Amino acid sequence: MQLLKDKVVFLTGGTEGIGFECAKVFRAAGAQLSIIANCHESIERANEKLNGDDVLYVKADVSKGDEIKNAIEKTVERFGKINVIHNNAGISDPSKPLHETTEEEWGRLFDVNVKGLYNTTRYGINELIKTKGNILSTSSITAEIGQDIHAAYTATKGAINSLTKSMSIDYAHLGIRVNAIAPAGVWTPMLRNWSSQQPDPSSIEKYLDNIHLLGYCPEADVIADACLFLISEQARFITGCIMPVSAGAELGYRTNK
């Protein structure tokens, strides 16, 4: 069964990591894709593996409203509609406590992780009203439990969670669902880059395996499968949900590791 047959998904940050795994899973489920990324090279790499008349790539920075407005217009021009907006684009740098985070670093985190969601909603909501579509954002369990040397990053994910809940209330009468997915660790290029920045990079793989109750840090396909569920009609009665896909990493300390 193709859960996304005849659906059009507007996917930001869809050329690598969680986003690219989502792109593959969504397409296999029957969706047409508009994949947004701000790096020409990453678009080229993704296009080598995932291309066709059912996939549109648009180079755009989610933090810039005019570029997202243009990307929305190009998507509708190509496919005629938008059923789903998946706000997946995000950054995690820097690995610093709050007082060491520069104003530029703070601004960039919020521009990409939070303003990006604002821009896609502002310019895409009218299309979702037409299709009674839905919005999904990629958050993190760190929004709820915190994370050392990442105060600014976790603040952006907390903002995503709050927006998800408030937007679900605002748009429910329009038939629009709004949800978020909250991973713990996931092996992506961004996580590998993050690992190299930590005080003891050699210990990170074991650490990431241990924080997940099921004993390993997953690849991004496990997140993509959960995202597929949330944007499909299988989740038609779910809105305002922050769904952890974390193997129980947020459940607390363990003595029997």
Helices (H), the chain: 17-28, 40-49, 65-79, 103-110, 116-131, 142-145, 151-171, 189-196, 204-211, 221-231
Residue 142 amino acid letter: T
60 to each of 67, 71, 89, how far by Cα in Å?
Answer: 5, 7, 11
Burial 218-236 (b: 16+ CB within 10 A, else e): bebebbbebbbebbbeebe
Cis bond upstream, residue 183 (ω within 30) = no
- Tell me which residues are annotated as active site: 153
